[in-house]
Amino acid sequence: MKFGLLSKYFPTEKYLKPPHIGISFSDTNIKAISFDKTSKNPVLKNIILPLEKGSIVSGSIVNENEVIKKLSEIKESLSIPFVFFTIPDELAYVFSTSITVASENDMTEGVAFIMEENVPLSLIDTVFDFESTKIVQTEGGYDVSLVVAASAKKEIEKFVEVFYKSGFEPVGCVNESQAIANALVPKKSVETLSIVHARGNRVGIYLVKNNLVRFSTLRNISGEDYKKQFLDEYEKFLEYCIKYDTGDERAIKSVLVCGDFEYAKGVVEVVAKSSNRVKDIKLSNVWTNVFEIDKNLPTVPYEESLSFAGPIGAVLSDII
């Protein structure tokens, strides 16, 4: 039975799931965006607020008051109380694993059991979530392949606390790499690709398969030889992927680049010029899953939009 017409006029997200803002944090600023994800031509409201130096250090909140102050400004500006936020890559662990469980309902317990083998934190201090990528039924139960994202519980609780104190109600939290993938990779894509999140002092490189980030790495690079440093890091990334995941570099069909425009552009140029290993590298379209860019002209300039991939992905993320 098709509910196309019904959902057109009564979209469940709009009525049952609260519309939420997407917010992402970095050491230098907070970015927020809101739009109606059920609309084909949504009104975009975005805001970037710079942070005092030292308010967030390596992704962790240090100066709560400064962050609360900025979040309160965002709340006043966007007027939506619900928020889905990203946690910086510095605080997230993403890994692929497989477990054997007796029934599909035991998966959470199964993941919890192997958590301490993969994350340098005790289970009680960890929050995690997972997506199954493959389930094979065996005689003893099920062999499940999974992608797990985990983070330190106290860090997430700091974020939740500052949201409550600034008048927001957090409805979800996702690692930044996955949020960026949600924004850049078309829904239902089965391609294997990599995403480069280029910023002034660091670069994130992610391996994405079937819309899921399988592996992510964050490297501190800066200075005049930014491009050279990036190339070195990307080579290492490719080697790791070939060794532990894809088996063949040709499996990575394309590279999508986002982040601060200046650095993202530099990354595309240097890779296009020097590397023979990557065939298709391009600046990404952050509106891929929001609207058709050929039919709608976004109010956010393209250069600026590249740095909003995280918040856009957070808005597109499902609450439950």
Residues that bind another protein (CB under 8 A): 15-18, 87, 92, 127-131, 149-151, 153, 156-157, 160, 169-175, 178, 317, 319-320
Nearer to another protein (CB atom), residue 45 or residue 153: 153
Of 23 and 257, which CB lies nearer to another protein in the complex structure? Answer: 23
Using CB atoms within 10 A of its CB, is residue 40 exposed (0-12), middle (13-18) or buried (19+)?
Answer: exposed
In sign, the C-alpha dihedral spanning 152, 70, 169, 131 is: negative
The alpha carbon of 212 is separated from its chain's Cα centroid by a whole number of angstroms, namely: 10
Q: How many angstroms separate the Cα of 186 from the Cα of each of 139, 192, 253, 284?
A: 37, 12, 14, 11
Closest to 83 (Cα-Cα) out of 176, 180, 167, 168 = 168
- The minimum distance between CB 256 and another protein, in angstroms, equals 20
Smallest gap from residue 124 Cβ to another protein (A): 12
State in angstroms the smallest separation of the CB of 151 from another protein.
6
Query: SS3 of 122, please?
Result: coil
Question: Looking at beta carbons only, is 78 or 91 nearer to another protein?
Answer: 91
Please identify, using beta-carbon distances, which residue of 161 and 262 lies nearer to another protein. 161
Least distance (Å) between residue 282 CB and another protein: 26
Q: To the nearest whole angstrom, how small is the minimum distance from the Cβ of residue 236 to another protein? A: 26
> For residues 24 and 244, what is the distance between their CA atoms, to the nearest angstrom?
30
User: In this complex, which beta carbon is closest to another protein, that of residue 178 or of residue 246?
Assistant: 178
